Structure 1
Amino acid sequence: MVSHNIWLRDHCRCSECFHPVTKQRLVNTFDIPADIAPLSVESKQYGLEVTWPAPAPHTSIYPWLWLQEHSYDPPARPKLENATDPEKVLWGSNIAQNPPTVTFEEAMTDQGLFEWLSKVDKFGLCLITGVPPTTEGTEKLSERIGFIRETKYGKLWEMTADLAMGDTAYTNVALGAHTDNTYFTDPSGLQLLHVLSHTGGTGGKTLLVDGFHVAATLKERHPESYTLLSTVPIPAHAAGDDGGIYQASPKSGYPTLSHDLVTRELYQVRWNNNDRSVMDHLDPKIVEEWYEAIRIWNRLLKSADSEYWVQLSPGTALIVNNHRVLHGRSSFTGRRWVCGSYIVFDEFKSKLAVLKERFDPDRVTADTRDPSSGSSVWSPAL
């Protein structure tokens, strides 16, 4: 493993260089000489000990496990090349046999909350049973994760087929598999849904599709289409309500499949053909290829192997990762009353990271955590 001297000096995490409470860098990166060289380097049982030269001699200690985890020469984590995080479980219709589930009572405990959020992180969805069939119970469940994101639909929104909002969701027609908020620059991360009642009719089954699973299938069978969906931005809009026209910034939109620039890992799916705006930025040479690509994508989404249908009922809520799992519903009759919320993805990831340090810490965190100052300064989150 190779590390440059300036990189090592910049990453010293003693209390003089990295605040133990705020977890923010104190060392002035720009005061470090570009050609800095250590006075001495020693291998200790607890890590690599490096002594740096004037203006004031300084000793830095780097835990061995931390150095291994963050090696860049060779890389500690090989590029996934458009794959998905191996810790994620991809699924199709077979998930109906044993869908990830927790109880409301479990979610109200810290250990249960960790199990709940871990399942959401792993599968992209989770059912919660035993939820009080009220808006108050739904709000209490939502706030176990973090702040509820208020949007044009409100904070904790309620929905029935009355077109109270200019959105097809507020009708009784079927909705194909889609992600929400494609017209927002930052689509909501999690969506929680709870059917509070359904009277005088039938239908309204919820449709769920693992976008990561479908993307993996698309990449394997139709790599050219995968590339197009990963590179061609799609503009979107929401303009059904007086006084509001929403468009993501930049106006050209975002591709259906977004990847980490370093690992090339797929991290977000954006797809709602109903909200798509004019595709007037397409290169004329790829117009037909792009339409063929979204036709294939749509066909894979609608495959019986991809679709998981579940009839939600009062007392059973559903949460989905809106950056991964597409949702929809069948048409229905009668009065179907649904409430739900959006939760910022950063809130979810933060709560999960804190609980993981507590209930399932990685080796570096377990070895270096100081309970008096919160998270370890060597936490992988930092």
Structure 2
Amino acid sequence: MWCQRLAWLLRGRPGSTGHRWPWLPRGPGPILAVPARCHPTAPASPCCAWQLHRDHLELRYGSTVMRLDFVWLRDHCRSASCYNAKTNQRSLDTASVDLAIQPQAVRVDETTLFLTWPDGHVTRYGLEWLARNSYEGQKQQVMHPRILWNAEIYQQAQVPSIDCRSFLETDEGLKEFLQSFLLYGIAFVENVTPTKEDTETLAKRISIIRETIYGRMWYFTSDFSRGDTAYTKLALDRHTDTTYFQEPCGIQVFHCLKHEGTGGRTLLVDGFHAAERVLRQAPEHFELLAKVPLKHEYVENVGGCHNHMIGVGPVLNVYPWNNELYLIR
């Protein structure tokens, strides 16, 4: 969600995507270009056209127009000498790449971009890979497809709860849980033994458990000595948790172990649905909430608990390359 598309000056002469580009000029003038037209090379291949500039290659593949800087293309080379495919880590020293580097030869066929560098090294990129991993390709991708909901939408969806045994013992049960969680942001597991230990076993099935100032697993009960409304019998209205962490919790697991008396209902709200409405009805307010950092604090100074935590960040956190919302403080 960041990287706005730049306006490029297109200068050059037409050519064919199958032609090898000759030695490029070293003078101050712009690097001349190749195809201004699309020449599909196979019936199933997306249309491809490309044009060279002084410091980047402009590549159109299907509906995606990409600006690929030469430094980026050299640095991301996936050859055996530049990239360890077993560890998915770069072997090339980025600092060794000349910031003014230019390819000496460029060729594109129906599936692959080939670049020959001044030292003779050849870099190959699949066009599909470039379309997925370029900044422009990232702008078109949604990181996490989701269903935004209110009470009516969620009730109509009739999202099933997962039985604890299926969740713990089968991949299908875990998959069903994760699908609900990723789509709706909430998911339910039924028939969990009401103990802290069994709750911890369930949580570990999802992910590692994060250490916090409260511990890894902790109890909530009516105990105002903690100096926190969450430990009282008072109702808690809509709110977000751990906003004062540098990185707020991504998943929280709640399990009612024992309940006596009346009340205790859980209120759940889809903050992403609310944010989407703000974006549609008052985009300037959405921008304000997404850009202005706020200081979030938690102060606990009761008994043996002395904590003062501060987290700084906007209420709405969005990916800068496509403005997709990913976190609400």
Shared fold, TM over 0.5: yes
Of structures 1 and 2, the larger Rg is shown by 2
Contact 1:183–1:246 (8 Å) recurs in 2:
no
Listed as ranges, the matches of 1:283-322 within 5 Å are none
The answer to whether the aligner puts 1:63 opposite 2:122 as a matched pair is no
Contact 2:159–2:180 (8 Å) recurs in 1:
no
TM-score (norm 2): 0.70
Query: Offset at 1:77?
Result: 4.3
Distance 1:6 1:229 in 2: 35
The answer to whether the aligner puts 1:186 opposite 2:247 as a matched pair is yes
The answer to whether the aligner puts 1:170 opposite 2:228 as a matched pair is no
Structure 2 segments unaligned to the other structure (5+ residues): 1-58, 60-66
For the structure 1 residues 215 and 161, does the alpha-carbon distance in structure 2 shift closer, same or farther, using more than 3 Å as the test?
same
Other-structure match for 1:219: 279
Query: Offset at 1:89?
Result: 0.9
Distance 2:212 2:134 in 1: 41
Other-structure match for 1:204: 264
Q: Deviations over 1:43-84 (max 9, x none)?
A: 456532333332xx3232212211111234xx224479xxx8
Query: Offset at 1:141?
Result: 0.9
Measured on the aligned residues, the alpha-carbon RMSD in Å equals: 2.5
The answer to whether the aligner puts 1:114 opposite 2:171 as a matched pair is no
Query: Offset at 1:162?
Result: 2.2
For the structure 1 residues 76 and 236, does the alpha-carbon distance in structure 2 shift closer, same or farther, using more than 3 Å as the test?
closer
Distance 2:294 2:103 in 1: 51
Structure 1 segments unaligned to the other structure (5+ residues): 271-382
Letter in 2 for 1:3: L
SS of aligned partner of 2:257: strand
SS of aligned partner of 2:106: strand
> How many residues end up aligned between the 2 structures?
259
Query: Offset at 1:86?
Result: 7.4
For the structure 1 residues 229 and 39, does the alpha-carbon distance in structure 2 shift closer, same or farther, using more than 3 Å as the test?
closer
For the structure 1 residues 25 and 78, does the alpha-carbon distance in structure 2 shift closer, same or farther, using more than 3 Å as the test?
closer
> Which of residues 90, 94, 97 is equivalent to 1:25?
90
Distance 1:104 1:87 in 2: 26
Q: Deviations over 1:223-279 (max 9, x none)?
A: 343333334433332223434232324xxx332222222222222211xxxxxxxxx
Other-structure match for 2:187: 126
Q: Percent sequence identity over matched residues?
A: 38
Other-structure match for 1:257: 316
Other-structure match for 2:5: none
Other-structure match for 1:247: 309
SS of aligned partner of 1:196: coil
Distance 2:217 2:306 in 1: 19
Contact 1:79–1:264 (8 Å) recurs in 2:
no
Query: Offset at 1:107?
Result: 2.6
Contact 1:91–1:210 (8 Å) recurs in 2:
yes
Query: Offset at 1:198?
Result: 1.1
Query: Offset at 1:204?
Result: 0.6
Query: Structure 1 residues 156-165 or 31-40, which shifts more?
Result: 31-40
Listed as ranges, the matches of 1:324-335 within 5 Å are none
Q: Deviations over 1:2-57 (max 9, x none)?
A: 42322211111223211223222111122222333334434456532333332xx3
Distance 2:101 2:294 in 1: 47
> Which of residues 93, 109, 112 is equivalent to 2:151?
93
SS of aligned partner of 1:3: strand
Query: Offset at 1:215?
Result: 1.1
Contact 1:229–1:256 (8 Å) recurs in 2:
yes
Distance 1:37 1:228 in 2: 41
Letter in 2 for 1:239: V
Q: Deviations over 1:85-139 (max 9, x none)?
A: 6722100002134135333233323343333223222211111123222212110
Contact 1:99–1:127 (8 Å) recurs in 2:
no
Instruction: For CA contacts below 8 A with separation 6 or more, give which structure has more relative contact order.
Output: 1
Contact 2:115–2:124 (8 Å) recurs in 1:
yes
Letter in 1 for 2:323: R
Other-structure match for 2:210: 149
Distance 2:189 2:287 in 1: 36
Distance 1:190 1:266 in 2: 16
Other-structure match for 1:161: 222
Distance 1:86 1:156 in 2: 28
